[in-house]
């Protein structure tokens, strides 16, 4: 029991179950014991009754093993804390380097959480997760047993234990309190000075096939897939090298959101209001990408995740800037159904693939048809597709029966009927992820700039709009053997070359310009100063004498392209 936890004292319950204890209890038996189930419900009720700043634990930042920061005062604090831990544990011959590195990354996570929102971070206490599947650069013994647990015992951190019950799989929440919290704040480290090191990022993740489980809490079934270990092969090794290169380039760019302070606050409020157990506010240091593959196979999934720009509502993405330059977003028109027709060499219907003649008379809009079309491509059978269409909040079918609507979809796509209801979606995601990788690598090689992926759409600096359109068409044609339409989001652009800097703008967007100043100060040794104009659009890493490898992920044929002529 944590005697120093104010939450635990208010609850009045011994929250002593670790995440791995819950894992063991709830997986070894067909159902949780009534005693544990009763205790869990009581804990949740008590937590829900606490003040909002302590009750909303779902907004915690996830523990990030790749955070780094060069700061002498931080290193001094970390060294003092390490000596305290060693003395408390009574160790004779401790590895101070290992304690220092694990303690520092824990401190950086807690400080980042203080800077971003509420101070809470989520971290697993399940020993099984400290492996190559999850946290491969930190050790359970050093981070949890000999560090986090000791800090809890001596009253420097506060803990709310995790739960592994039913559909709730929530990691433990911790935050710095007392003297440790005061010491972290006193360091006065700028938020952008804490960043991700691309060399420590876990980039290639493999998940098992999603399993159906029934939620007693929600009274419905849900799908859940765990990460699984894998043996590296030529593909995974090359994909990791390519992503490390891309993350290295992204790490040298200032990527931000050109909105007013009031708009930024409204965006964060909307993110926190989402019905998601892992919602959080924008963290501009979260830029490193990973690829997630599905169904225990590198032939399924593989899309890019991790950038903060993926979590914001789409209407705000036109305001994203790269190195103080406005951007455009371009995506493929009807990508997945187009791919099905192209890859199977079938004639496609004329016109828009997301429009069905006559359905507008029943009030069915294009968005509903689009969502339903993707469902019938992704679903593994017709019954599951119909059920998903009936339950989907974004599909409006007020004047037509779901089965009639489904029949219209099947009739529209009769030429590919053998590909519907086959779970083809993850294969298509694998193909579009290959297209995305090729585009991002080309941008680094040819333009010395970066592309920010949002699944099957791409964000690039405004002055490279024409290049992106041509490159997207070429990448699709090379993969599918046909042409495809593309569309740009050009809703907001004051200037293609930068942001107007004047007193009025600085007052409205003080947060944006403050982060600009932070970035220039932090990177002044590596980044050219003065970033108002197009001449400095491309901040670039000094060591550019490497080669890019374009990988054909099926044949694994390496085509080496020198970066310089």
Lowest mean pLDDT among 51-65, 244-258, 496-510: 51-65
pLDDT above 70 for 565: no
pLDDT above 50 for 103: yes
Buried b (16+ CB within 10 A) or exposed e, 400-426: bebeebbebbeebbeebeebbbeebbb
pLDDT above 80 for 491: no
CA angle 90, 94, 97 (to 5 degrees): 135
pLDDT above 80 for 238: yes
pLDDT confidence band for 139 (50 / 70 / 90): confident
pLDDT above 60 for 17: no
* Mean predicted confidence (pLDDT) in 484-504: 70
Q: For residue 272, how many C-alpha atoms fall within 13 Å in the half-sphere facing its CB?
A: 19
The dihedral through the CA atoms of 411, 414, 417, 420 has a sign that is: negative
* Main-chain dihedrals φ then ψ at residue 302, nearest 5 degrees: 105, 10
pLDDT score for 548: 36
* Mean predicted confidence (pLDDT) in 389-397: 88
Rounded to an integer, what is the distance from CA 560 to the centroid of its chain?
Answer: 30
pLDDT above 90 for 310: yes
| Domain map (residue ranges) of the chain | 6-215, 232-337+425-562, 354-412
Mean pLDDT, the chain, whole residue set = 79
pLDDT score for 169: 67
Per-residue pLDDT of 396-414, as tens digits, reads: 888 899 999 999 999 999 9
Reported for 30-34, long-range contacts at CB under 8 A and 24+ positions apart, including other chains, are 32/165, 32/166
pLDDT score for 11: 29
Lowest mean pLDDT among 108-122, 416-430, 538-552: 538-552
Per-residue pLDDT of 163-188, as tens digits, reads: 666 556 678 889 999 999 999 999 99
Per-residue pLDDT of 511-562, as tens digits, reads: 999 999 999 888 765 543 333 333 333 333 333 333 333 333 333 333 333 3
pLDDT score for 488: 81
pLDDT score for 562: 32
pLDDT score for 114: 93
- Give the CA diameter of the chain: 80
* Mean predicted confidence (pLDDT) in 213-235: 73
Record the pTM. 0.79
pLDDT above 90 for 328: yes
pLDDT confidence band for 136 (50 / 70 / 90): low
Please compute Rg for the chain using Cα positions: 25
332 touches 476 (CB < 8 A): yes
Q: Which helix (H) or strand (E) holds 453?
A: strand 452-454
Tokens encoding 232:
């590296």
**DSSP string for residues in 315-367:** GGGGGEEETTEEEEEEEETTHHHHHHHHHTT-PPPSS-TT--TTGGGGT--HH
* Mean predicted confidence (pLDDT) in 193-197: 91
pLDDT confidence band for 42 (50 / 70 / 90): low
Give me the residue label for tokens 């090379």: 478
Residue 486's beta-bridge partner residues?
332
pLDDT score for 497: 46
SS3 311: coil
Residue 24 and residue 329: Cα distance in Å, rounded?
46
pLDDT score for 225: 80
């Amino acid at each position: 029991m944590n005697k120093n936890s104010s939450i635990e004292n208010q609850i009045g319950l011994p929250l002593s179950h670790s995440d791995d204890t819950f894992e063991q209890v709830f997986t070894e038996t067909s159902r949780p014991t009534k005693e544990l189930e009763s205790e869990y419900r009581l804990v949740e009720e008590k937590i829900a009754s606490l003040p909002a700043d302590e009750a909303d634990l779902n907004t915690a930042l996830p523990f990030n093993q790749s955070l780094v920061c060069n700061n002498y005062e931080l290193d001094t604090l970390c060294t003092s804390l390490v000596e305290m831990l060693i003395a408390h544990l009574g160790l004779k011959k401790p590895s101070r380097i290992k304690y220092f590195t694990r303690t520092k990354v824990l401190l950086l996570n807690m400080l980042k959480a203080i800077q971003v929102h509420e101070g809470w971070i989520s971290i697993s206490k399940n020993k099984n997760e400290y492996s190559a599947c999850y946290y491969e650069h930190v050790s359970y013994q050093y981070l949890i047993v000999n560090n986090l647990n000791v800090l809890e015992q001596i009253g420097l951190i506060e803990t709310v234990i995790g739960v592994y019950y039913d559909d709730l799989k929530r990691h433990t929440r911790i935050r710095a309190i007392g003297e440790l919290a005061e010491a972290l704040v006193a360091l006065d480290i700028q938020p952008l000075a804490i960043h991700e090191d691309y060399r420590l990022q876990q980039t290639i993740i493999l998940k098992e096939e999603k399993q159906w489980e029934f939620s007693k809490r929600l009274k419905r079934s849900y799908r859940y897939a765990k990460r699984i270990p894998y043996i590296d092969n030529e593909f995974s090794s090359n994909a990791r090298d390519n992503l490390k290169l891309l993350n290295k380039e992204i790490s040298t760019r200032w990527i931000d959101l050109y909105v007013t302070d009031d708009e930024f606050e409204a965006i964060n409020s909307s993110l926190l209001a989402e019905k998601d157990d892992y919602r959080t506010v924008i963290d501009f240091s979260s830029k490193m990408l990973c690829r997630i593959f599905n169904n225990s196979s590198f032939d399924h999934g593989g899309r890019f995740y991790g950038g903060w720009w993926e979590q914001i509502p789409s209407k705000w993405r036109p305001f994203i800037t790269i190195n103080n330059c406005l951007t455009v977003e371009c995506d493929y028109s009807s990508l997945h159904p187009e791919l099905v027709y192209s890859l199977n060499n079938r004639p496609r219907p004329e016109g828009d693939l997301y429009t069905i003649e006559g359905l507008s008379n029943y009030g069915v809009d294009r968005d509903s048809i689009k969502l339903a079309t993707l469902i019938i491509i992704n679903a593994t059978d017709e019954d599951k597709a119909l059920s998903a269409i009936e339950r989907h909040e974004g599909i409006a079918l007020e004047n037509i029966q779901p089965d009639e609507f489904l029949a219209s979809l099947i009739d529209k796509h009769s030429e590919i009927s053998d590909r519907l209801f086959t779970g083809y979606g993850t294969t298509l995601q694998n193909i579009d992820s290959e297209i995305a990788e090729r585009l991002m690598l080309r941008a680094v090689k040819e333009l010395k700039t970066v592309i920010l992926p949002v699944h099957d759409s791409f964000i690039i600096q405004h002055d490279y709009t024409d290049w992106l359109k041509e490159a997207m068409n070429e990448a699709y044609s090379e993969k599918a053997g046909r042409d495809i339409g593309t569309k740009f989001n050009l809703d907001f652009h004051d200037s293609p070359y930068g942001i107007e800097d004047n007193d009025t703008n600085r007052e409205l967007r003080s947060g944006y310009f403050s982060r600009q100043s932070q970035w220039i100060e932090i990177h002044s040794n590596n980044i050219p100063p003065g970033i108002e104009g197009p001449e400095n659009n491309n901040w670039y890493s000094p060591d550019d004498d490497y080669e890019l490898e374009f990988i054909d992920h099926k044949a694994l044929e390496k085509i080496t392209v020198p970066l310089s002529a």
